[in-house]
Amino acid sequence: MSRSATYPIRMLNPALRLRTGSRRAGHPHGVCKTGRGSSRSCNRIVAPGVPVLYQTFSISFEETGMPEQKRLYIKTYGCQMNVYDSERMAEAMGEHGYKTTSDPEGADLILLNTCHIREKAAEKVYSELGRLKPLKASNPNLRIGVAGCVAQAEGAEIMRRQPMVDLVVGPQSYHRLPELEARARNGEHPLDTEFPAELKFEGLSRRPGTNRGPTAFLTVQEGCDRFCAFCVVPYTRGAEASRPVSSVIAEAQRLVANGVREITLLGQNVNAYNGEGRDGAVSLAKLISGMEAIDGLDRIRYTTSHPNDMTDDLIEAHGTCPKLMPYLHLPVQSGSDRILKRMNRGHTAKAYVRLIERIRAARPDILISGDFIVGFPEETEVDFADTMALVEEVRYGQSYSFKYSARPGTPAAERDQVDPEVASDRLERLQTLLSRQQRDSQDDMIGREVGVLFERKGRKQDQMVGKSEHLHAVHVSNGNIVAGDLLRVRITDSAPNSLAGELTAG
Ligand code: SF4
């Protein structure tokens, strides 16, 4: 509802007394005579003696006394944790009269929730802000904010380079966003990139009871104490902090009460989770087995993990917790011990392979996914060959691989960089091997029966898309399936990034 407009209201003609015996508040003097041309018009009679049932008159927005409905446009970059944070920021602002919009043109508040993972990440944010400048020029009431890891890393520099930015808020202060927005509305330029003692989750509002899709992310841990030589997370998200068990369980129950059947627990180093429970610190494995008791929750996943935090009880949980899905994303980055040391990963290639063997012993059908960086400073062809050998040995069902990119402020950024062409060549060779392994893992599913949680419509008529227990995308053409159905499917075909199947009788 815009500020300046007036709104036609149609209501029962107060001149009419309803024959219910109950007195409805009516216009005290029957047929009003306020006359035409003013913002109120009435007293028309359709036919002699037949009173008009409805009258229309206009009032301004302010006169409705309703809270002004403002529009919030959030652009989210980067990881699932940013996706989760954007949802929480939208919910927090929802309690202050904001409704999200997908159109920045009509927004009253624009938030860029940024990611600092890629090279030139900050420059990309500045150019995006440049693109938003005309909107601000055409709507002086528009407020623009920068959130996320670039906000944390750049801080006041953002407002110095782009004075049109009204507020800057780091990932640990989202519970203060409404207050920062109010201060920005009063002409201030608040900056909050602190690491507050209290966890933002305790300050954020309870998740609203809105119906959701069948899957949801739930952040349980933030920050990281590992300081890998290429990573900005310890600087932008701070030290590891885990949410109390009660807060996680409460949020999970609310999500399930609103239609969620699968929850993915998020953390930059999620398997280092040690949240406060009734009897002291609780590990991720214990949290998962606690969540298994939530009625209506069918599937649990977690991401992203560090090999050194794969505790014995978490490995065991993969064999004993039926709701814990047989999928594990366990980044390794390189197969060369020399490079792993230079990366400060804290483990060797052999230790990683032995860990995978223990996890596969606990859950033989588990799908292993990995992260790889090629072209890390000082990486030689021999180091790269070690990475290829590790990939051959582990056999990945899914993977993410990148060329190293220097992040300002990280130790590796100061070292001798590998020639970009050499890095590109190595990435191509690695991705050829990884795609072949992914294809093999999918082809192995043909003829097998899997459980699929359907999430949305596919591109074809009557086609529905969902995820199997191994996080494979599965398409099924059947007009009776709806989002939220968890059904048995026999895999009939495999494509580069998805599987096709048919419903089984079971
Ligand atoms: S463990 Fe992950 S989040 Fe932590 S510093 Fe290393 S790469 Fe970054």
pLDDT on residue 61: 55
Confidence of residue 1 (pLDDT cuts 50, 70, 90): very low
* pLDDT tens per residue across span 280-332: 999 999 999 999 999 999 999 999 999 999 999 999 999 999 999 999 999 99
Q: If you average pLDDT over each of 44-48, 91-95, 348-352, which comes out highest?
A: 348-352
CATH of 449-503, one of 1.20.120.530, 3.40.50.300, 3.40.50.720, 2.40.50.140: 2.40.50.140
Cα(6) to centroid(ligand 1), Å: 54
Which residue's C-alpha comes closest to atom 6 of ligand 1? Answer: 228
Cα(401) to centroid(ligand 1), Å: 15
Place of tokens 């800057």: 168
Cα(353) to centroid(ligand 1), Å: 19
Confidence of residue 58 (pLDDT cuts 50, 70, 90): low
Ligand 1 site: residues with CB under 6 angstroms?
224, 226-228, 231, 233-234, 268-269, 306
Phi (first) and psi of residue 449, to 5 degrees = -105, 130
Which residue's C-alpha comes closest to atom 8 of ligand 1? Answer: 231
CATH number for the domain whose boundaries are 203-443: 3.80.30.20
**How far lies 347's CA from each of 39, 302, 337, 370, 378, in Å?**
75, 21, 8, 15, 18
Q: What is the mean pLDDT of residues 119-146?
A: 90
pLDDT on residue 10: 54
SS3 192: strand
**Is the confidence at residue 14, as pLDDT, over 90?**
no
Cα(318) to centroid(ligand 1), Å: 23
77 in Cβ contact with 113 (< 8 Å): yes
Q: Locate the ligand 1 atom nearest the alpha carbon of residue 234 and give its number.
A: 5
Q: What is the mean pLDDT of residues 484-501?
A: 96
pLDDT on residue 24: 41
Confidence of residue 26 (pLDDT cuts 50, 70, 90): very low
pLDDT on residue 65: 60
Q: Which residue has the higher pLDDT, 265 or 42?
A: 265
Report the C-alpha gap between 301 and 278 in whole angstroms. Answer: 23
Phi (first) and psi of residue 487, to 5 degrees = -130, 160
Tokens of 49: 């003696």
SS3 474: strand
Report the C-alpha gap between 310 and 251 in whole angstroms. Answer: 25
pLDDT on residue 408: 82
pLDDT on residue 20: 43
pLDDT on residue 367: 98
Please give the full DSSP string across 14-48, using - where no structure is assigned: TTSPPTTSS-----TTSS----SSSS------SBT
- Best of 269, 342, 372 for a ligand 1 pocket test (most atoms within 8 Å of beta carbon): 269
Cα(225) to centroid(ligand 1), Å: 8
Helix (H) or strand (E) run with residue 489 in it:
strand 486-495
For the CA atoms of 338, 341, 345, 346, what is the dihedral angle to 10 degrees? 120
**Is the confidence at residue 8, as pLDDT, over 90?**
no
Cα(368) to centroid(ligand 1), Å: 19
pLDDT on residue 30: 42
Longest Cα–Cα distance in the chain: 99
Report the C-alpha gap between 361 and 355 in whole angstroms. Answer: 10
Q: Locate the ligand 1 atom nearest the alpha carbon of residue 268 and give its number.
A: 3
Report the C-alpha gap between 444 and 490 in whole angstroms. Answer: 12
CATH number for the domain whose boundaries are 55-192: 3.40.50.12160
Q: What is the mean pLDDT of residues 204-221?
A: 81
Q: Across the chain, what does the average pLDDT equal? A: 88
Which residue's C-alpha comes closest to atom 1 of ligand 1? Answer: 226
Domain ranges of the chain: 55-192, 203-443, 449-503
Cα(192) to centroid(ligand 1), Å: 24
Cα(433) to centroid(ligand 1), Å: 25
Phi (first) and psi of residue 134, to 5 degrees = -60, -35
Percent pLDDT > 90 in the chain is 75
SS3 338: helix
- Best of 116, 221, 228 for a ligand 1 pocket test (most atoms within 8 Å of beta carbon): 228
- The yes-or-no answer to whether 55-192 and 449-503 have a common fold is no
470 in Cβ contact with 368 (< 8 Å): no
- Best of 268, 345, 371, 402 for a ligand 1 pocket test (most atoms within 8 Å of beta carbon): 268
